Homo-oligomer: A and B are copies of this chain.
Amino acid sequence: MKHLLSTKGLGRAEAIGLLDIAEDMADVANREVKKLPTLRGKTVVNLFFEDSTRTRISFEAAAKRLSADVINFSAKGSSVSKGESLKDTAQTLAAMGADGVVIRHPASGAPEVLAASGWIDAGIINAGDGTHEHPTQALLDAFTIRRRLHGTASRGTGLDGVRVTIVGDVLHSRVARSNLWLLTTLGAEVTFVAPPTLLPMDMSGWPAAVGFDLDAAIAAKPDVIMMLRIQAERMNAAFFPNSREYSRRWGLDDVRFARLAPASIVMHPGPMNRGLEISSEAADSAASTVLEQVANGVSVRMAALYLLMSGDREDS
């Protein structure tokens, strides 16, 4: 693997291969010394054009566990904020010897521009670009589902026939998009449930069922229900009446949670708005995978950094 830019472009074998390596990485977390020497002498730059402490420290922990050096580059207050082009920033990082770049950017497509440009030879990982993709989030979600379903015997398997319902602000969510592509590639069936104002106008080509009624979706007994985070800043943007109304119609409250099938799992990418899109009872239940998702995030990011930065990196 040369870059990790999207899940849309990820083949099934490649995706399963990455998840299998993440299983190996998860084992490292149980060792007394949780460090591998794999990336010693390599430098990972966290190039964040948007604040995201959770994602940044997950990548930072993953890189350090592989013995890489980490340099945090926040675009705020830097020459980038003074109008330096992405090209000049990228070439500068390349010249400084960056072996991997984890990029978070408000513009959809920025990581692909970076990877296609030839400005930098380093492996590029998309850590969230606009409303486009957030591939490591989808990979950690798939990893989490696979582990819940198959346990440690999950190596080599996909998610064939698993029914996943994703609920909330699909319109603005790169998490929803990345999950759609990856989960369907792995054989799962995806249903989106959202208010009409929070769905894209044109969903042609999206291999997803769509519904507007969360109660009906729950009555269909999905294997997985994934609640998306509501961004507070959308609240005043006329996408829905108010937070109480949203919670009443599209939140996973205690009543809806009780109607889920006993074996189904509840996911959330975090950070959660408890009481808005998800109740505390649901979030803290045995069905919830919220914290497993965080832990698996480090393993999946270790796998991605390993594939992109170790000597075994492929040329295409």
Contact = CB atoms under 8 A, between A and B. Distances in A.
A270 B43 contact: no
A61 B96 contact: yes
Interface string A19-45: 000000000010111110000111101
Contact of A271 (B32, B45, B88, B293): B88
B33 A40 contact: yes
A71 B82 contact: no
**Which one of A40, A60, A297 has the greatest number of beta carbons of chain B within 10 Å?**
A60
Contact of A95 (B42, B51, B295): B295
A96 B58 contact: yes
Contacts of A151: none
B32 A92 contact: no
A274 interface: yes
A92 B61 contact: no
What is the copy number of this chain in the assembly? Answer: 3
Contact of A69 (B32, B64, B85): B64
A54 B74 CA distance: 11
Contact of A54 (B79, B83, B292, B295): B79
A64 to B, nearest CB: 4
A284 to B, nearest CB: 9
A313 to B, nearest CB: 13
A198 interface: no
A203 interface: no
A32 B97 CA distance: 12
10 contacts: A29-B97, A34-B97, A43-B61, A54-B79, A60-B71, A79-B270, A83-B232, A88-B272, A91-B294, A95-B295
Given A64-B71, A83-B273, A91-B294, 4 more contacts: A53-B80, A91-B291, A92-B271, A97-B295
